[in-house]
Amino acid sequence: MSFLTAHHINKSYQVGAQQLHVLRDLDLSVERGEMVAIVGASGVGKSTLLHLLGGLDRMDSGAIHVGETDIGTLPEHELTTFRNTHVGFVFQFHHLLSEFTALENAEMPLRIARLGASDARRRATAVLERLALGERLQHRPGMLSGGEQQRVAVARALVTEPSVLLADEPTGDLDERTAEALHALLREMHRERQLSSVIATHNMQLARSCDRILRLEGGQLVPA
C-alpha cells in the first residue's frame, strides 16, 4: 500500500520574463519499505521534487500525501512540525554546523522539537553509534572525513525516527569507495526502519540497488 504519494504535481518558477515549468502533472507512489531512485539530467528538477515531497517548498497545484496527511493543506507552522517529525533529509553537502560537535549536530532536530536534553543526547548517541561514529561524538565537522561528515548528516536525518527518507545526491561529493559504503549504509538503515525512501542520484550503482528506478524528464516520471 502506498505511503508517500504525489498526484498531478505542477511546479514552475519565474525566470526574468519567462515562466520555467519544472514539473508537469507529475505522479509518484512509494510504498512503505520501498526505496525509489530518481535519475535524470542536471537541472531537470530532481531537487525540486524532493523539496516538494518533504514540504520544503510549495507546489503550484496537485496533492502530496504522507500516510493520511495531505501536506499541501497544512499551514506553515504545522508543516514545519510535520516535516521535522516525519521526514528525514540527506543532501549532497552535509550542511553540518561547524561550531558544533557530531553529537550536537545529530541531536539538533530533537532539540528543535523541544525534547529534553538528556533524551535528545541519548537518542542521537544511539544513532551515531549505530553508524559507527561512537568514537567521533565530540569531534567537530572539520575533524571528520567527508564520509564521516555525511554519516553524521544521515544520523541527523534519522534521529527523529521519520517515516520518509529523502536523499538528494547523497554521495555526489564522496570518492567511489566512500560512496559505496554510504550506499550500503543507507540501504541497511532503510530496511531496518521500513522507510519510504526517495533517492535522487546520478550514481547508477546506487540507483540499481533501489527497488525501482524512475527517470525525470519533461517534468514527469517515467520508468528508467
In CATH, what number is assigned to the domain containing residue 15? 3.40.50.300
Q: What is the pLDDT of residue 64?
A: 96
Q: Is the pLDDT of residue 182 over 90?
A: no
Identify whether 182 is part of a domain.
yes
Closest by CA position to 165, among listed 68, 57, 90, 58: 90
Distance CA 185, CA 223 (A): 25
Average pLDDT score over the chain = 91
Identify whether 169 is part of a domain.
yes
Identify whether 164 is part of a domain.
yes
Stated pTM of the model? 0.90
Identify whether 146 is part of a domain.
no
Strand, helix or coil for residue 47? helix
Q: Are strands 164-168 and 196-200 parallel, antiparallel or unpaired?
A: parallel
Identify whether 101 is part of a domain.
no
Q: Which one-letter DSSP state was computed for residue 102? A: H
Identify whether 68 is part of a domain.
yes
Closest by CA position to 196, among listed 210, 182, 175, 215: 210
When divided into structural domains, the chain yields a total of: 1
Identify whether 130 is part of a domain.
no
Question: Which residues constitute the domain of residue 219?
Answer: 2-94+158-223
Distance CA 8, CA 34 (A): 21
Q: What is the pLDDT of residue 93?
A: 75
Q: Is the pLDDT of residue 24 over 80?
A: yes
Identify whether 121 is part of a domain.
no
pLDDT band at 175 (very low <50, low <70, confident <90, very high): confident
177 or 35, higher pLDDT: 35
